[in-house]
Structure 1
Amino acid sequence: MTNELLLQPKLKRRRIMIISGDESVIDEIQKTNNISLCKSIILDTLDEDIPISHFETETTNQKKQQNISLICTICGSNASGYNFDVISCESCKSFFRRNALRYSPLKCLHQGTCDVSFNLRRHCSACRLTKCFNSGMRRERLLIAEQKAEIRRHRRENQNLNINDQESQLSLTLPLNDLSSILDQELSLFSQCLQEHSVQSKKTLLSPEDLQRLESIQFFYQKRIELARDGLPLNSSSIPTTTFLQQLNSHSIPLLRLLTFFKQIPEFNELNVDDKVILIKFNLLPLLCINCTLSYKSETDQIIESDSDIPWDPSVIQTVYGIDGFNEIKKNFDQFLYIAKYDQKIIQLILITFMLTKGFSVAAIDEPILNDSIAVYRAQNYYIELLWKYMITVHGFEITIQIFNKLIAYFITWQASQIKIRHIIEQNLLSTNINEILPFMKAILHIS
């Protein structure tokens, strides 16, 4: 009897879900424990049979009909849903993804009047991108998507690194002591590099203090005109700029305004007094060209900081620097203007960074040594890092690298041009009564 029981297969317990509106049916099943009854109950219904596939088909059709009813805000074609906060089609979605973060601005051949429709949306990319932004598409949404993709990429890299690390650790079990020592050192160095890379990645995100500082910088720059109004040696609304001397003295107005901007920067204001004088005397005038890109009006081809100012135009600048000097200035001006049109905050941060750069003006060979060069270096390093984090957060890694490479090239070109421009000014000063030059300009021009 025992052997027979052992040979019998073990019975498996099964759970059955029964859906019914009749409680008597449930009671009957519990009393009889009849599984076949369950099958019949599940299959038999009093209502008309409706296959499950019908519900699926109906739901799918409803979704398709709902999608078809959406119209792309950009081109008017059938939309696929919300993309970057705007109802749009897949084509406009892909177009925005490709062009929203581009460094080179798109240009319209018809002054921005092109029609953007389903049939004409590919005719003018500039107008199409403008309509994307005007319709509410947000560059920030694309940045968030890219950041998520970057996080996923880092996770995959870390997983691969963990696998490689495990394989390397297995190799340490080899009986070669020298090889084990070398691998230990390599793994330790590799781990250190990963930690540093992780720290650098975190630094690309702006902290609340960084955001507050960026807002303060923009406020300081706007405030410079009002704060410098009482200290100007000339009336910006009535000063004549027809002669070389008049035009040279007129430089004092934007230069003093720019100096007022720097004096509001805490890190600059806390420097050694003599060091601040050195930086002002040797760096302020070269920065004037870069600063003017923020006040350039392309419609009139003029530079005007305040509505009450007499504007500068190419003919006025040629009075001081001549044709050759004007061409040198324009070449460098156009380079930095390219960045200013893209993002003016970058230029504001560049101005602070260059102001804190010892030896920025290579034209001056008698520049004194700073008393506290470490303090200047730390202040400069803070704003370089702030510039980097701002550009990474707003414009993404690839565009940031492009802009930084261009900035380095522009910086070197501008330094080389300073030698030529300085020589032109010195030649023009030979035929000028230096007693009529304003004291502030004499200090900037190193005229004793």
Structure 2
Amino acid sequence: MKNGEHKRCLVCDDVAIGINFGVPTCMPCKAFFRRHANKQGTSKFICEDVGNCVITYKYRRVCNGCRLAKCFHVGMKKSLILSNDEREARNKLVAINRLKRGKVPKEETIVWMQPPLLLHVKQNPCQHLSPCDQVVLANIFYAYENTCIAAKNTRFQSFPSIAHTSIHKLLNELSPMFEIFIEYLKLIPEFNNLLIQDKIRIMRNHFGNMININQPLMYSVTPTNLLVTYTNVFNTDITNCLLKRNQIVNQFMFDPIVLRVLLIIVVLSSGNCRSIDDMDMDLVCDDTLSIFSAQNIYVELLWRYILSRSSNERTVVTFFNRLLMYIFHVQNIGMRIDNYMNRFTQEIELMEPMVQSMWPRKRNDENMNVSNTG
């Protein structure tokens, strides 16, 4: 089929956006067929007249039965509809290929990195990324996919499973997800090579930051059960902060790398971001130089990566400022939750050992599985 021969939708004669499920269609008919292809013959898809309704872009909503029948009549194929898993696998492959080519589509780049007027896609976007940089970025992508995303698609498809009414039940359900996140960090050489006590200390010091960045990264749309849980277990102030967090993070969600690298940068910090009076958390790490050096590696890598997506360094500075504002907001949420939790020590005592060890209660460091394992 030559260019220009599929400018009209074969179903309703609206403007076609391209070939969808085998034939030229508009966006509404594409979406209609994807949602309803398996419903032919059901009560809502049987014509109430003689089965010969006129389907045009003005009247396509009048009869779902005739519209679906026409979709099949013009040649739309149900076999070409991807399942959710197949669609996600395709999107991952597209993201990986973009990363390998150093390309992000212009429309996504504009949404991803604000303000849009400062951006353009470079002719040679990889000029700031060495081959080693690209390997490290690909490794980060795969490490997160093989741990957090793999777990989300199998064990944690619905989180939380119910709307909780107590903090300890929410965090107990979160505990195995946090263990998976630790598995992601253990695939980062600079983290895995730190002293065991330093790893434990920085995990405790940045527990809230990690949760507040990783949760919207894994679930870009806040699940209903989680929204209800927020309102059940936290006050209005904290709930509003969590909802604002999700709004802020949306500007970074169109890229498969930025937040994954940011998580590493946040963890690789020897500072204490908790609002908890605990001597151990306030102690200086044993090898602060290694932690700082490791963090610096990923800060510079993120700078070069964003520079490869930007028109100039001014844009990178603007974007980094937005990332910093997001980190400050996340830290503020963590401190508010810490202050709130200080009034509910009985909740801490009911937590699973992993998450309980994030608070200064009993010595539960042995429950932190961050040691080097095969």
- Does structure 1 residue 333 correspond to structure 2 residue 246? yes
Q: Which residue of 2 aligns with 1:390?
A: 305
TM-superposed deviation, 1:360: 5.0
Q: Partners in 2 of 1:204 and 1:217 — Cα distance?
A: 20
Q: Partners in 1 of 2:330 and 2:109 — Cα distance?
A: 30
- Does structure 1 residue 415 correspond to structure 2 residue 331? yes
TM-superposed deviation, 1:218: 0.7
Q: SS at the partner of 1:271? A: coil
Q: Which residue of 2 aligns with 1:58?
A: none
Which of 282, 299, 304 aligns to 2:205? It is: 282
Q: Partners in 2 of 1:101 and 1:417 — Cα distance?
A: 28
Which of 363, 366, 369 aligns to 2:275? It is: 363
TM-superposed deviation, 1:374: 0.4
- Between stretches 366-375 and 392-401, larger displacement belongs to 392-401
Which of 299, 315, 332 aligns to 1:399? It is: 315
Q: Partners in 1 of 2:172 and 2:107 — Cα distance?
A: 48
Change (3 A) 1:98 1:437: closer
The equivalences for 1:40-189 within 5 A come to 101=110, 103-104=113-114, 142-144=121-123
Q: Partners in 2 of 1:235 and 1:381 — Cα distance?
A: 34
Q: Which residue of 2 aligns with 1:52?
A: none
With normalisation by structure 2, the TM-score equals 0.59
Q: Which residue of 2 aligns with 1:444?
A: 358
Change (3 A) 1:98 1:331: closer
TM-superposed deviation, 1:320: 2.9
Q: SS at the partner of 1:313? A: helix
Where in structure 1 are there 5+ consecutive unaligned residues? 1-69, 77-95, 107-138, 148-202, 303-310
2:265/2:299 contact within 8 Å kept: yes
One-letter amino acid matched to 2:244: K
Q: SS at the partner of 1:444? A: coil
Which of 171, 175, 178 aligns to 1:248? It is: 171
Q: SS at the partner of 1:395? A: coil
User: Residue by residue, what CA displacement relative to the aligned partner does 1:271-301 show, whole Å, maximum 9, x if unpaired?
Assistant: 1111111011111332111112222243xx4
TM-superposed deviation, 1:411: 2.1
Change (3 A) 1:274 1:362: same
One-letter amino acid matched to 1:271: L
1:290/1:333 contact within 8 Å kept: no
1:240/1:246 contact within 8 Å kept: no
TM-superposed deviation, 1:417: 3.1
Q: Partners in 1 of 2:208 and 2:199 — Cα distance?
A: 14
One-letter amino acid matched to 1:275: D
Q: Which residue of 2 aligns with 1:219?
A: 142
One-letter amino acid matched to 2:316: T
One-letter amino acid matched to 2:164: T
Q: Partners in 1 of 2:161 and 2:219 — Cα distance?
A: 19
TM-superposed deviation, 1:426: 2.2
2:198/2:285 contact within 8 Å kept: yes
Higher relative contact order (CA 8 A, sep 6+): 2
Q: SS at the partner of 1:415? A: helix
Where in structure 2 are there 5+ consecutive unaligned residues? 8-14, 16-104, 363-374
Q: Pairwise CA RMSD of aligned residues?
A: 3.9
With normalisation by structure 1, the TM-score equals 0.50
User: Residue by residue, what CA displacement relative to the aligned partner does 1:368-422 show, whole Å, maximum 9, x if unpaired?
Assistant: 2111100000100000011011111123334322210111222223323322221
Count of aligned residue pairs for this structure pair = 256
Q: SS at the partner of 2:234? A: helix
Q: Which residue of 2 aligns with 1:118?
A: none
Q: Which residue of 2 aligns with 1:41?
A: none
One-letter amino acid matched to 2:333: S
TM-superposed deviation, 1:207: 1.0
2:140/2:260 contact within 8 Å kept: yes
TM-superposed deviation, 1:238: 9.2
TM-superposed deviation, 1:251: 2.1
Q: Which residue of 1 aligns with 2:264?
A: 352
TM-superposed deviation, 1:235: 12
Q: SS at the partner of 1:394? A: coil
One-letter amino acid matched to 2:304: K
One-letter amino acid matched to 2:356: K
Q: SS at the partner of 1:358? A: coil
Q: Partners in 1 of 2:165 and 2:205 — Cα distance?
A: 25
2:129/2:308 contact within 8 Å kept: yes
- Does structure 1 residue 375 correspond to structure 2 residue 302? no
1:242/1:316 contact within 8 Å kept: yes
Q: Partners in 2 of 1:346 and 1:323 — Cα distance?
A: 30
1:349/1:387 contact within 8 Å kept: yes
The equivalences for 1:294-313 within 5 A come to 294-298=217-221, 301-302=222-223, 312-313=225-226
TM-superposed deviation, 1:227: 8.4
Q: Partners in 1 of 2:157 and 2:361 — Cα distance?
A: 23
1:289/1:333 contact within 8 Å kept: no
One-letter amino acid matched to 1:349: V
2:265/2:295 contact within 8 Å kept: yes
Q: Partners in 2 of 1:433 and 1:97 — Cα distance?
A: 48
One-letter amino acid matched to 1:422: D
Q: SS at the partner of 1:421? A: helix
